[in-house]
Structure 1
Amino acid sequence: MSTPLQGSLLDGFGEIELGALDGIQRTELTHGAWVDVLPGWLSGADELFERLAAHVPWRVDRRNMYDRMVDVPRLLSFYDESRELPDPVLTEARDALSARYRDELGEPFTTAGLCYYRDGNDSVAWHGDTIGRGATADTMVAIISVGAARALSLRPRGGGASIRYPLGHGDLIVMGGSCQRTWEHAVLKTRRAVGPRISIQFRPRGVR
């Protein structure tokens, strides 16, 4: 059973709108990887969380692990280029990010993957988005988080000290450069009582 969402005192359930992208702060990592972070880019994020939780067609994926099929510990939904996004503000966000990163990325963001972390038992293990072009070429993944904050952890591929970004309530993070090949990221399980979170991941064509 998921923990109810406790709304942010700073965000509340007001009008859903995007702020300016001018306040993005970039952190240069190693091997040509970097991360951009902008807290609270989306206002009214708790209201958007409620809309997405209620209306997105969530599914449970299964995978083979230790010779048996198990449920993936989070709910998923994927919107390819042919599907309309589940809320107009997500289309606006995708277009704003495409415009912001046009010169560096060289192409627009086209797809959106949504993950619903219901509580601290839901997670995603260490990985890079290396299905498709991300395995061999620099690319970007832009993530908006709505709902309660959960830590997105990053570490160098092959081991090393990790970095944690607590993301929720409309925060934006963009992983760029070689990040998907030379670093890994994860949302790890936690025993703490945490509320539900939805992440919206924008990617260019051919990156998963």
Structure 2
Amino acid sequence: MTSAFQASLLDCDDDVAPGLLGSSVRRTELDRGAWIDVRPGWISGADTLFDRLIDAVPWRAERRRMYERVVDVPRLLAFYAEGEALPDPALDEAKRALDVHYAEELGESFRTAGLCLYRDGRDSVAWHGDTIGRGRSEDTMVAIVSIGTPRTLLLRPRGGGPTLRHDLGHGDLIVMGGSCQRTWEHAIPKSARVTGLRISIQFRPRGVR
């Protein structure tokens, strides 16, 4: 697949690696026991990683039932189950760094990796929480690394309330923790202005989808 996205003028490093976490992570406490951590530019060489993943990942299209119809999922997908080799060593490094940073708070390791390829502004994901499995009833974490063209991630409380906006790309990290998956929702809306590609890499613990 040919990559087409607006590379960051600040990301000129061909060496791909996660940066430090620690005090560089900004936490925002939400209501009802939810929180988010944000670390801008966590992956150095993120544009190089983008080019590698475009070619290395076996992207696939899916169709899902929505009400009375079966429709195309508006993005391409790949999933790496527990024990499966990840498509790039930089993702192994990123997972290890997340495991170390969140070990005490999460109490377990991140086990799976889901990847989504947003091809342009028409690709999107509707409002949802990761509530298939343990996330429906337990506090958990989902760590998302965004590379490629920045896209807007929206968050809002379930049942209504103020919407939070984060524009993520070029190696940015966001972690949704606590009760976030069951008490808040998140979405990537369609955009008439975005024309480049974005890859989202989601690390999850066992039993969370």
Under TM normalisation by the shorter chain, which class is it?
Answer: over 0.9
Q: Deviation of residue 3 (structure 1)?
A: 8.4
Report what 1:75 is aligned to: 76
Are 2:3 and 2:54, in contact at CA under 8 Å, matched by a contact in 1? Answer: no
Q: Deviation of residue 66 (structure 1)?
A: 4.7
Report what 1:112 is aligned to: 113
Report what 2:145 is aligned to: 144
Structure 2 Cα separation of the partners of residues 34 and 59 of structure 1: 32
- Is 1:44 the counterpart of 2:45? The answer is yes
CA deviation string 1:138-184 (max 9, x = no partner): 00000101101001100000111100110000000000000001000
Query: What one-letter code is carried by the residue in structure 1 that aligns with 2:86?
Result: L
- Is 1:18 the counterpart of 2:18? The answer is yes
- Is 1:53 the counterpart of 2:19? The answer is no
Aligned-pair Cα RMSD in Å: 1.3
Query: What one-letter code is carried by the residue in structure 2 that aligns with 1:41?
Result: W
Runs of 4+ in 1 over 3 A off after TM superposition: none
Structure 2 Cα separation of the partners of residues 72 and 141 of structure 1: 21
Helix, strand or coil at the partner of 1:191: coil
1:1-208 map, 5 Å: 4-12=4-12, 14-22=14-22, 23-208=24-209
CA deviation string 1:34-80 (max 9, x = no partner): 00000001011011111111110011110123522211000000001
Give the TM-score, by structure 1 length: 0.96
| Number of residue-to-residue matches in the alignment | 207
Structure 2 Cα separation of the partners of residues 163 and 194 of structure 1: 23
Identity over aligned residues, as a percent? 66
Q: Deviation of residue 6 (structure 1)?
A: 1.2
Q: Deviation of residue 191 (structure 1)?
A: 0.9
Structure 1 Cα separation of the partners of residues 12 and 36 of structure 2: 27
Are 1:3 and 1:193, in contact at CA under 8 Å, matched by a contact in 2? Answer: no
